[in-house]
Amino acid sequence: KPKSIEDLSGVGQAVLNKLIDAGYSSLEAIAVASPQDLSVAAGIPLTTAQRIIKEARDALDIRFKTALEVKKERMNVRKITTSSQALDGLLGGGIETRTMTEFFGEFGSGKTQICHQISVNVQLPPEKGGLSGKAVYIDTEGTFRWERIEAMAKAAGLDPDTAMDNIYYMRAINSDHQIAIGDDLQEFIAKNPSVKVVIVDSVTSHFRAEYTGRENLAARQQKLNKHLHQLTRLAEIYDLAVIITNQVMARPDMFYGDPTVAVGGHTLYHVPGIRVQLKKSRGNKRIARIVDAPHLPEGEVVFAITEEGIRD
Ligand code: ADP
Ligand code: MG
């Protein structure tokens, strides 16, 4: 099965360039194109357009499925423990593979600590709530600390050096760099199939900082959406978990509104996945709440951030 447009059969470099120039740079874009549009835009025969559209749809498994098939697909989803039973319960058992999970909340609400914890816990054997896998950690804010990995790994009964060796870390310097890393991830993970979680902490900060002002909102959103869809595809193709974080200001006056809309952007609104809002509580306690997940009951749970990591 093709994993990107480069793999489509009978598509040489010339046609590939035409497709990309015409904006059909992903399997998704091709899968939902009309044969006529694609044929004209890329200057290829109609029959070729029809053929590659079909191939793209097959690759993405776009077809009618029975509900039973959908159920069976979902049963294959695997879960990574957060080290808090309450938080796992809220998430329906833990962080899911084939899914993008977003943690959003104010500064200090625990987003980065959860990312550290998952990059350790993914390494645990399945009977302890892991996937015996490795982690990719993309850090945009410079808040990754190996000391925290060491402490959490020890507390989880893992050898700290081995645990650190199983985390592929990259600092993203700006949004273009972040997107370029995203572009390269597919190849990286194809070569390193033991990677079972990809973390981007935070996914939004560079975009917010670089695209300021109303007039830049649309451009920002377009770039961010492309990046997010890329990550979603990774989750689906490689059966891995994707975790993103998103810092939003606490706005007590907006308590009843959607907190992400309140800070100027339907940031991650149109991308499927699970969204978890984090809030500070007393001391080391934090509150987690699921936001608009179709299959999970609404509710709040309390967890704690300790020296050993995330706990109940
Ligand atoms: P966010 O990423 O949402 O801004 P963090 O995940 O960085 O927030 O959480 C920061 C909080 O984590 C700190 O306020 C502190 O309470 C807690 N924390 C960080 N390191 C430790 C530690 N070594 N021991 C206990 N708690 C810690
Ligand atoms: Mg953080």
pLDDT tens series, the chain, 312 aa: 788 888 898 888 988 998 888 888 888 888 888 999 999 988 899 999 999 999 999 988 888 889 998 888 888 899 999 999 999 999 999 999 999 999 999 999 999 999 999 999 999 999 999 999 999 999 999 999 999 999 999 999 999 999 999 999 999 999 999 999 998 998 899 899 999 999 999 999 999 889 887 788 788 888 888 898 889 888 988 899 999 999 886 654 444 444 444 333 444 555 568 889 999 999 999 999 998 776 777 789 999 999 999 999
- Same-domain pairing of 26 and 85: no
Q: Are residues 79 and 22 in the same domain?
A: no
Structural domain tally of the chain?
A: 2
**CATH assignment at residue 40:** 1.10.150.20
Nearest to 132 by CA among 218, 48, 195, 39: 195
129 and 196 both lie in a single domain: yes
Q: Which atom of ligand 1 is nearest to the CA of 105?
A: 3
Is there a domain that residue 65 lies in? no
Q: Give me the pLDDT at residue 270, please.
A: 52
Q: Are residues 232 and 101 in the same domain?
A: yes
What is the pLDDT, as a whole number, of residue 250?
Answer: 60
152 and 38 within one domain: no
Q: Are residues 16 and 80 in the same domain?
A: no
- 98 with 11, same domain? no
Q: What b-and-e string marks burial along 94-130, b requiring 16 or more CB atoms within 10 Å of the CB?
A: bbbbbbbbbbbbbeebbbbbbbbbbbbbbbbeeeebb
Which three-class secondary structure string do you get for 44-73?
CCHHHHHHHHHHHHHHCCCCCCCHHHHHHH
How far is the centre of ligand 1, averaged over its atoms, from the C-alpha of 144 (Å)?
11
Residues surrounding ion ligand 2 at CB below 5 Å? 111-112, 143
Whether 147 and 218 map to the same domain: the answer is yes
Helical residues (DSSP H) of the chain, grouped into ranges: 13-21, 27-31, 35-42, 46-59, 67-75, 85-90, 111-121, 146-155, 160-165, 175-191, 205-210, 217-238, 259-262
| Domain presence at residue 117 | yes
Residue 67 lies inside a defined structural domain of this protein:
no
Range of the domain at 35: 5-59
Say yes or no: 289 and 140 in one domain. Answer: yes
> Does the bond joining 194 to the residue before it have cis omega, within 30 degrees of 0?
no
Question: From edge to edge, which strands make up the β-sheet containing 274-280?
Answer: 167-171, 134-139, 195-201, 241-247, 99-105, 274-280, 285-291, 300-306, 309-311
- Please report the pLDDT score of residue 271 as a whole number: 59
- Kindly state whether residues 28 and 143 are assigned to the same domain: no
DSSP code string of 233-293: HHHHHHT-EEEEEEE----GGGTTS-HHHHTT--TTTTS-SEEEEEEE-STTEEEEEEES-
**Of all atoms in ligand 1, which is nearest to the CA of residue 202?**
2
Closest CA to 82 of 119, 135, 127, 125: 119
CATH number at residue 178: 3.40.50.300
Residues 26 and 107 in one domain: no
Q: 111 C-alpha vs ligand 1 centroid, how far in Å?
A: 8
Give the ipTM of the model, two decimals please: 0.99
- Which residue's C-alpha comes closest to atom 18 of ligand 1? 305
Whether 259 maps to a domain, the answer reads yes
Residue type, 75: M
- Is 262 part of any domain? yes
Answer yes or no: do 12 and 115 share one domain: no
The ligand 1 site (C-beta within 6 Å) comprises 105, 107-113, 284, 305-307
